[in-house]
Chain A
Amino acid sequence: MTRKRRRLYFVLLGLLGLGAGAALVLTAFQDNIVFFYSPKDIAEKPVCEQRCRIGGLVAGGSLVKEGQNISFDLTDAAATVSVKYVGILPDLFREGQGVVAEGRMNNGAFIASNVLAKHDENYMPPEVAKALKDSGHWKEGEAPPAGMNNN
């Protein structure tokens, strides 16, 4: 086999791999990308009718539990979204704590299929920190806003 042919195989193989990879990536992206919103985003425009994540602080005094039917308000100090969830909340879920919920909007409420809280008591999910910073209610290095560490 000549060097040229070999090179041709090389290139064809490479293109095949690249093409297959690109096709896989595109289909996977189409189905599986989850957008992240803050309560402010949700309040401003109709987003998240399919599936998304929202992050914020659990508003003080908003947590209602009836067995496994749970509702609470998620806030970034600029806006508040009420969240409904059926199941058992993760450990370290507290009022005033930063959490991320995954689900979709339905009639003005967020129906969560999954609620994530983090392991560290003082840890704030970066998305939540960003949402709070964007809404101008918290700056890096400052003490977190009042009501955050009420546990």
Chain B
Amino acid sequence: MIIELGHFALALALAVALIQSSVPLIGAARGNVAWMNVARQSAVLQFVLVGFAFATLIHAYVTSDFSVVGVYENSHSAKPLIYKISGVWGNHEGSLVLWVTILSIFGALVAVLGRNLPPALRARALAVQGMISVGFIAFILFTSNPFLRLFPTPAEGNGLNPILQDPGLAVHPPMLYFGYVGFSMAFSFAVAALIEGRVDATWARWVRPWTLAAWTSLTLGIGLGSWWAYYTLGWGGWWMWDPVENASFIPWLTGTALLHSAIVVEKREALKSWTILLAILTFSMSLLGTFLVRSGVLTSVHAFASDPTRGVFILILLAVAIGGSLTLYAIRAPQMEGGGVFAPISREGGLLINNLLLTTACATVLLGTLYPLITETLAGGRISVGSPYFNGVFIPLMIPLILLMGIGPLLAWKRGDLAGALSRLKLAAGLSVAAIVVTMVIAGFSVTDIGGAFGIGMAVWLAASSLIEWSERVKFGRTGSWARIANLPRAAHGMTIAHLGMAILIAGVSGASAWKTETIQIQAPGETVQLAGYALTFKGVTEVPGSNFTAERATIEVKRGDKLVATLHPERRAFVQPPEQTTFSSIHTTYASDLLTTLGEKQGDDGSYVTRFYHEPLVPFLWYGILLMGFGGLVSLTDRRHRVGAPRRTAPQAMPVPVAAE
């Protein structure tokens, strides 16, 4: 009964979304306040309805109601509670409901928090949100209904794919979706601005916090996915340029560009139509990402949902959303004359190059991801585009970006002093060269180490120049620097933190790519292998029962010299339902490098097993870097200028410590 109520609520939400997407538009065009206010009421109502539908779905999963098809196919009564809940979005239908739920949350937030917004802009933006809701809810109701019943009711469910039964992956999709859907705010405001034909600093101030929130969530979500792949998939890989990973990375790249170009709109009223275009593209890429993963069109390690029959609906949805908004852009953008004229060497010039590099990188990743699809459709041949392509294209584009990330923040708005900025960065350049030399010395001057050492040099360059910029800004070490630190806008702290995070991430990527070592062998109990100065002794395997699986648990002693540093227990887990196996790696970390062990299959009667050991230098830096980037985003979000609807500050430097704003 409850599930039917959920179904009904979602159908009602579709009706509400139809109203939300039409009435406020007419109201805004005619200046009818009551009709415009319909946007807010319907956005809140829609949140209540969709939220209720989502809750009924969670209820069905938690109570293991196998009369619901989705629950039967994706859940099992013996599953731990957290995976019953995460099972809701572990499949195509449920994940779409999660998507619209998050969309409705954002809509309600605009309705509630957006009191200071110009009423017409708010009405139009919410109407665009309503249109997105209409598309998605219709898609759910007509092609992907999660509320379908099954008769007769099965006694037990099929269970969730065991590799998805992991705490990291339970929260990974919601975080990604929060990011994807968050970009819909920028999109809605962009389309609303196009309808109004006006973009100004206020608009940018409105779009930035939503974009920042979405970006932060997407960053952390991608990081979480990478971390999951690293410790579960069993080969110690944290980024494979898999289409599913690319699907989330592509909007991240355009989203990062949008984040930076919106600053130019806010500060200088320039790059307006470019920013609008980026907002449209970012959300388009999010839509594409959602559907690339969910439609199963791509050959992929973890494309676990596949039903090409929905393809037509998806294509129509994409065509309307992307085609419609781009058409509107083509008609309206020429009328939006950009204000500020600026010199190429200036903060805004730097941000423009940042945008150019990020969008070029995005285009190359997109091309590589879709190329197999294109050739298969057009030429009939099947090809795969792998890591070498992506590394070959992506890394050369990132090098100038990282160099520029050091310089850009030191350039002034309007007219920057490049020579001055470079001379202030002498220390950073020196440290960076020193880092390269030191790394080469430690690594032993081999040609294969050049790439890694260069990467470490880039990381040091970025970290040092970010810190130089920050300490110059607060005149660090001189009297009153603490007060200046407290008074510096949080967005500035946020930038420094996020850029530092990026530097640490680069160090992690470089180290992990250049100096990863691994050994795969068949080991009988008692045998020892050497890896990166560690001696790993395989002690044998015992069988251990788990909650809904039985595990073969190995014991591996890790010694450095004569000293026992760790005892690791990698596992192979055999699940009862569905009858699948997963590997569960065991990691010894020094917080600067990891020793990752996984257990393979049994090889004969003497108790010998395949074992895989990976030494992963600097991999923990990946996670530190991503966390720091996310933290930077959060710090920046607390800036009172980013507070939704906050009035414009008049005296930029005279702001007191924002106690009153808490």
Q: Which residues of A contact B (CB under 8 A)?
A: 1-3, 6, 9-10, 13-14, 16-18, 20-21, 24-25, 27-29, 31-37, 53, 87-88, 91-92, 118-121, 125-127, 130
Inter-chain contacts of A21 with B (CB < 8 A): 360-361, 363-364, 393, 397
User: B residues bordering A, Cβ < 8 Å?
Assistant: 161, 163, 233-234, 299, 301, 341-344, 352-353, 356-357, 359-361, 363-364, 367-368, 371, 381-386, 388-390, 392-393, 396-397, 520-522, 572, 579-583, 600-601, 610
What are 10 A-B contacts with C-beta separation under 8 Å?
A1-B343, A17-B357, A21-B393, A25-B368, A29-B385, A31-B388, A33-B371, A33-B385, A88-B600, A127-B299
Tell me, in angstroms, the Cα distance from A39 to B462 when the chains sit together.
Answer: 50
Partner of A13, one of B356, B388, B390, B392: B356
Residue contact A119 to B580, C-beta cutoff 8 Å = yes
**In the assembled complex, how far is the CB of residue B257 from the closest CB belonging to chain A, in whole angstroms?**
12
Per the bound structure, the CA–CA distance linking A9 and B343 in Å amounts to 9
Instruction: Determine the distance from Cα of A125 to Cα of B301 in the docked complex, in whole angstroms.
Output: 9
Identify the closest chain A residue to B297 (Cβ). A126
Assuming A35-B383, A125-B299, is B364 touching A24 (CB within 8 A)? yes
Could you tell me the distance between the alpha carbons of A87 and B519 in the complex, rounded to whole angstroms? 11
Q: Is the CB of A91 within 8 A of B299?
A: no
- Whether the Cβ atoms of A119 and B341 lie closer than 8 Å is no
With the chains together, A145 CA to B478 CA distance in Å? 78
User: Is the CB–CB distance between A130 and B522 below 8 Å?
Assistant: no
Instruction: Report Cα–Cα, A10/B392, bound state, in Å.
Output: 26
Bound-state Cα–Cα, A139 to B371, Å:
26
Chain A residue contacts of B163, Cβ below 8 A: 119
**Contacts A6-B341, A6-B342, A119-B580 given; 9 further ones with Cβ under 8 A?**
A1-B341, A1-B342, A13-B353, A14-B356, A18-B360, A31-B388, A34-B384, A88-B522, A91-B583
Q: How far is the CA of A32 from the CA of B371 in the complex (A)?
A: 12
Contacts of B360 in A (CB 8 A): 17-18, 20-21
In the complex, which residues of chain A have a beta carbon less than 8 angstroms from the beta carbon of B344?
A: 9, 13
Q: Which residues of B contact A6 (CB under 8 A)?
A: 341-342
> Assuming the A-B contacts A25-B364, A25-B367, are A88 and B520 also in contact, with contact meaning beta carbons closer than 8 angstroms in the complex?
yes
Residue in B closest to A26 when the chains form the complex, CB atoms: B393
**Which residues of the other chain, B, contact A24 by a CB distance below 8 angstroms?**
364, 392-393, 396-397
Pick the residue among B341, B343, B388 that contacts A28 (CB under 8 A): B388
Decide if B580 touches A121 in the complex (CB within 8 Å): yes
Q: Which residue of chain A is the closest to B395 with respect to CB atoms?
A: A24
CA distance A91 to B572 in the complex (A): 10
Residues of chain B within 8 A of A37, CB atoms compared: 382
Check A17/B522 contact, CB under 8 A, given A29-B389, A88-B600. no
Query: Which A residue's beta carbon lies closest to that of B362?
Result: A21
Give the dominant DSSP class at A's interface. helix
**What residues of A have a CB within 8 angstroms of the CB of B361 in the complex?**
21
Inter-chain contact B581/A127, CB cutoff 8 Å = no
Do the beta carbons of B392 and A31 come within 8 Å of each other?
yes
Q: What residues of B have a CB within 8 angstroms of the CB of A120 in the complex? A: 161, 580
- Name A21's closest neighbour in chain B (CB-CB): B360
Q: Which 4 A-B pairs have the closest CB atoms?
A: A28-B392, A36-B382, A32-B388, A32-B389
Complex CA–CA separation, A31 to B390 (angstroms) = 11
B583–A33 touching, CB < 8 Å: no
In the complex, A119 Cα to B582 Cα: how many Å? 7
CA distance in complex: A34, B375 (Å): 12
Q: Which residue of A lies closest to B359 (CB)?
A: A17
Shortest Cβ distance from residue A127 to the other chain B in the assembled complex, whole angstroms: 6
Contact: A28 with B299, CB < 8 Å? no
Instruction: Return chain A residues, CB-CB under 8 Å to B583.
Output: 91
In angstroms, Cα B382 to Cα A88, docked, is 27
Q: Which residues of A contact B396 (CB under 8 A)?
A: 20, 24
> What residues on A are CB-neighbors of B572 within 8 Å?
91
Which residue of B has the minimal Cβ distance to A87? B520
Distance between B237 CB and nearest chain A CB, rounded to angstroms: 13
B384 and A20 contacting across the interface, CB-CB below 8 Å:
no
Instruction: Name the residue of chain B whose CB is nearest to the CB of A119.
Output: B163
Contact, CB under 8 Å: A91 / B581: yes
B386 near A32: Cβ-Cβ < 8 Å: yes
| Nearest CB in chain A: distance from B197 CB, A | 20
B352 in contact with A13 (CB, 8 Å): yes
Contact A25 to B393, CB < 8 A, known contacts A91-B581, A119-B163: yes
Contact of B385 among A16, A32, A88 (CB under 8 A): A32
Write out the residue numbers on chain A whose beta carbons fall within 8 Å of the beta carbon of B600.
88, 91
| Central interface residue in B344, B360, B397, by most chain A CB within 10 Å | B360
Bound CA–CA A123/B589 (angstroms) = 33
The chain A residue sitting closest to B394, CB to CB, is: A24
Q: Name A6's closest neighbour in chain B (CB-CB).
A: B341
Assembly CA distance A37 to B163 (angstroms): 29
A35 and B382 contact, CB distance less than 8 A: yes
Residues in A with CB closer than 8 Å to B357 are: 17
- Neighbouring B residues of A35 by C-beta, 8 Å: 381-383
A6–B581 CA distance with the chains assembled, in angstroms? 60
Closest CB in chain B relative to A29 CB, distance in Å: 7
User: A24 CA to B194 CA in the complex, in Å?
Assistant: 35
What is the CB-to-nearest-CB distance from B619 to chain A, in angstroms, rounded to a whole number?
22
B389: contacting residue among A3, A33, A36, A87, CB under 8 A: A33
CA distance A28 to B389 in the complex (A): 5
Complex alpha-carbon distance, A123 and B389, angstroms: 27
Task: Let me know if B610 and A27 touch, CB within 8 A.
Answer: no
Closest CB-CB distance, B141 to chain A, in whole Å?
24
| B-side contacts of A10, CB under 8 Å | 352
Would A53 and B356 count as touching, CB distance under 8 A? no
B427 to chain A, nearest CB (A): 29
| CA gap between A120 and B575 in the complex, in Å | 11
Q: Give every chain A residue within 8 A of B233 (Cβ-Cβ).
A: 119
Contact (Cβ within 8 A) A34 B356:
no
Q: Give the Cβ gap from A66 to chain B, nearest Cβ, in Å.
A: 13
> Closest B-chain residue to A29, C-beta based?
B389
| Minimum distance in angstroms from B653 CB to a CB of chain A | 28
Q: Which of A31, A34, A87, A92 has the most CB of B within 10 A?
A: A34
Chain B residues with CB under 8 A of A9: 344
Q: Among B352, B384, B582, point to the contact of A36 (Cβ < 8 A).
A: B384
Which residue of chain A is the closest to B353 with respect to CB atoms? A13
